[in-house]
């Protein structure tokens, strides 16, 4: 089946390409598979009111993906939900890990201090909601693509997991291209309705938010709402809107609140109920059941004292936070490393069910700390030697992507970094995905070539920390899988993310290998 990969996708004739692009451009805009254009594409001068939109960066074809790898990633979803809800609930376990980081990471320090302050005052809400995305790449265990191929985890996101809206749509787009005969008939045995799973991420993520809303409502006598805390401006707004509209359709009032207006437009009443007071309706207040963060995840968003005050204000409120500060901290790469360090005992502790632990463990690539532990000293040897470093990637512990150091450039980079800052990074064995080609369409420009795919599986989890927040005992009332994301980027670029570089949203075409 490696031949499927090398022969895919087929070359298109000029008329085939024109037809496919016309179908793609019209379908995407008709269905909100769109982003606001970058100012470098449509300038502020041309569109000062920001009424234009553009087809989101997408692939022309769904990318190939071994069915066994997709099934493996899906099968791990609920165990991952369990795992991270358990970690976020266990402050005693988290404390030493976070304390090791806060000396070198002011952002984590700020978040941790919020937790400490709220814990001292007493948390007002025991319900916790996670909308997670676990990201994987295909790893050729044997060096070539065969039945031994697995997925290996790239990272686990506990805050602002994006593209759930556009992911549902891009799968529907590829189905439309298939149904409208935009794909050559030679493809039909590979690309057909049986090989192209749709992602139910819009419905799935909205359902997770609705679960928390209804659970909160049981404790309240007022009618309440869900608040999406967002960046402003936000080019990826339609991705978020699709989830909001789905929530609204299900009867859950939902509003967007820019991150920098949190303190202005919300307040706490006597029992720390969070009230949303929109200035557009003076005198009207909505009780906030759930705060869904699509902002507030990056250090750059905390450059003012007010930002920290705003985060603290939300954290101490009685609203369900998606995520809480503790859940955000549980998503640090340091936790991923601690779990995935070879022979780590932690996974079995959090997942006493052996089948759960095994399926999660099967997705780990070896990860090492860069501290002075035994594993850390071993990693320092591997990372500073160009002979061994070429098999690794160096990643910062922080969330939000960016600044990964790859392979041969690691030793040089570490030379420039004071040694006391090394523990802010982890060393991870590179995942070796199969070579594959596709065409990415972005701002009207096509680029064909080698690509790399990253599969994200969305999970939603609602639980109650029955003895109090962080005390360890919890009751999970909802644990669901919520669709997938396939992100595809040029294989030559070193950094992921559709918003930067030549990245795109994609969908799956499953193949048997």
**220/284 with CB nearer its own copies:** 284
Which is catalytic among the residues 28, 89, 162, 212? 162
Beta bridge partners, 120, equal none
333 annotated as ligand-binding: yes
487 is catalytic: yes
Residue 402 annotated in ligand binding: yes
CB nearer to its own copies: give 54 or 79: 54
Choice among 155, 244, 287, 465 that is catalytic: 155
| Annotation says 157 is catalytic | yes
Whether residue 470 is annotated as binding a ligand: the answer is no
For residue 479, give the nearest of 76, 71, 129, 81 by alpha carbon.
81
Q: Catalytic residue at 126?
A: no
Task: Give catalytic status of residue 449 as yes or no.
Answer: no
Query: How would you write 265-298 as a 3-class SS string?
Result: HEEECCCCCEEECCCCCCCCCEEEEEEEEECCCC
74 catalytic per annotation = no
Q: Report DSSP letters for 111-134, one per residue.
A: HHHHHHHHHHH--S--EEEEEEEE
399 is in an annotated binding site: yes
Please return the burial class of 249, using the count of CB atoms within 10 Å of its CB with bins 0-12, 13-18 and 19+.
exposed
- How far apart are CB 224 and its own copies at their closest, in Å? 14
- Cis peptide preceding 233, ω within 30 of 0: yes
- Judged by the rule CB under 8 A, the positions of this chain that interact with its own copies are 13, 15-16, 18-19, 21, 25-27, 29-32, 34, 37, 41-43, 46-55, 176, 179-182, 184-185, 237-238, 241-242, 245, 248, 255, 278-281, 284, 443-445
- Least Å from the CB of residue 53 to its own copies: 4
36 is in an annotated binding site: no
Residue 7 falls in the annotated catalytic set = no
Residue among 246, 334, 395, 442 flagged as catalytic = 395
480 annotated as ligand-binding: no
DSSP symbol at 431 = P
Residue of 157, 438, 479, 507 marked catalytic: 157
* 494 annotated active-site: no
44-62: burial string, b at 16+ Cβ within 10 Å, e else: eeeeeeeeebbbbbbbbbb
Is the CB of 402 or the CB of 444 nearer to its own copies?
444
From the CB of 237, what's the least distance to its own copies, in Å? Answer: 6
* Separation between Cα atoms, residue 366 and residue 361, nearest integer Å: 10
Give the active site residue among 172, 211, 244, 399.
Answer: 399
Residue pair 116/309 in contact (Cβ under 8 Å)? The answer is no
CB atoms within 10 A of CB 393: 22
CB closer to its own copies, 14 vs 305: 14
44 annotated as a binding-site residue: no
Tell me whether residue 1 or residue 46 sits nearer to its own copies (CB atom). 46
- Taking the complex as a whole, the smallest distance from the CB of residue 241 to its own copies amounts, in Å, to 5
Measured on CA atoms in the order 150, 154, 159, 164, is the torsion positive or negative? negative
Q: How many residues does the chain have?
A: 513
Q: Do 151 and 137 meet the contact criterion of CB atoms below 8 Å apart?
A: yes
Question: Are the CB atoms for 473 and 86 separated by under 8 Å?
Answer: no
Q: Is 25 a catalytic residue?
A: no
| Residue of 133, 152, 246, 474 marked catalytic | 133
Q: Is 137 annotated as a binding residue?
A: no
> To the nearest whole angstrom, how small is the minimum distance from the Cβ of residue 336 to its own copies?
34
Hey, which bits of 163-301 come out as E strands?
224-230, 254-258, 266-268, 274-276, 286-294
Minimum distance between the CB of residue 251 and its own copies, rounded to whole angstroms?
Answer: 10
Residue with smaller CB distance to its own copies, 183 or 422: 183
- 395 catalytic? Reply is yes
Q: Which residues contact 137 (CB under 8 A, 6 or more apart)?
A: 151, 152, 154, 431, 433, 452, 453, 454, 455
Catalytic residues: 133, 155, 157, 162, 333, 395, 399-400, 487
Binding-site positions for substrate read 133, 159-162, 234-236, 240, 294-297, 487, 498-499
């Amino acid at each position: 089946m490696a031949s499927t990969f090398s022969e895919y996708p087929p070359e298109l004739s000029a008329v085939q390409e024109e037809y496919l692009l016309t179908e793609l451009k019209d379908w995407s805009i008709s269905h909100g598979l769109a982003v606001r254009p970058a100012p470098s594409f449509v300038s502020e001068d041309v569109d000062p009111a920001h009424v234009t939109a553009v087809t989101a960066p997408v692939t022309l074809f769904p990318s190939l993906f071994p069915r066994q790898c997709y099934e493996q990633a899906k099968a791990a979803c609920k165990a991952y939900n369990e795992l991270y809800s358990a970690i976020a609930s266990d402050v005693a376990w988290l404390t030493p890990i976070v304390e090791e980081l806060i000396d070198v990471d002011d952002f984590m320090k700020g978040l941790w201090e919020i937790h400490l302050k709220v814990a001292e005052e007493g948390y007002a809400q025991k319900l916790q909601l996670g909308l997670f995305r676990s990201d994987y790449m295909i790893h050729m265990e044997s060096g070539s693509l065969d039945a031994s191929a697995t997925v290996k985890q790239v990272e686990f996101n506990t805050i602002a997991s994006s593209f759930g809206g556009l992911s549902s749509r891009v799968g529907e787009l590829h189905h439309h291209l298939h149904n409208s005969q935009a794909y050559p008939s030679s493809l039909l045995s590979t690309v057909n309705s049986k090989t192209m799973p749709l992602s139910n991420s819009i419905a799935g993520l909205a359902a997770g938010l609705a679960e928390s809303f209804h659970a909160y409502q049981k404790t309240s006598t007022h009618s309440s709402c869900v608040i999406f805390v967002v960046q402003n401006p936000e080019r990826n707004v339609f991705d978020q809107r699709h989830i909001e509209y789905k929530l609204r359709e299900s009867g859950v009032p939902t509003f967007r609140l820019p991150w920098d207006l949190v303190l202005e437009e919300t307040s706490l009443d006597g029992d720390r109920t969070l009230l949303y007071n929109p200035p557009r309706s003076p005198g009207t207040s909505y009780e906030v059941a759930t705060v869904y963060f699509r902002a507030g995840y990056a250090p750059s968003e905390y450059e003012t004292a007010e930002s920290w005050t705003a985060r603290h204000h939300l954290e101490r409120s009685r609203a369900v936070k998606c995520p809480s500060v503790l859940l955000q901290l549980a998503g640090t790469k340091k936790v991923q490393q601690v779990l995935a360090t070879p022979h780590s005992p932690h996974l079995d502790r959090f997942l006493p069910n052996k089948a759960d632990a095994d399926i999660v463990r099967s997705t780990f690539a070896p990860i090492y700390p860069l501290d002075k532990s035994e594993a850390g000293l071993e990693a320092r040897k591997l990372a500073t030697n160009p002979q061994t470093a070429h098999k690794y990637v160096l990643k910062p512990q922080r969330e939000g992507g960016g600044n990964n150091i790859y392979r041969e450039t690691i030793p040089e980079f570490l030379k420039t970094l004071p040694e006391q800052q090394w523990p802010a990074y982890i060393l991870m064995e590179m995942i070796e995905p199969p070579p594959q080609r596709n065409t990415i369409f972005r701002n009207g420009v096509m680029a064909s070539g080698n690509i790399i795919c990253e599969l994200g599986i969305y999970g939603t989890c609602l639980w109650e920390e029955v003895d109090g927040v962080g005390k360890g005992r919890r009751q999970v009332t909802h644990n669901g899988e919520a669709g997938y994301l396939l992100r595809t980027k040029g294989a030559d670029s070193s950094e992921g993310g559709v918003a930067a570089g030549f990245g795109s949203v994609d969908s799956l075409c499953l193949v048997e290998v």
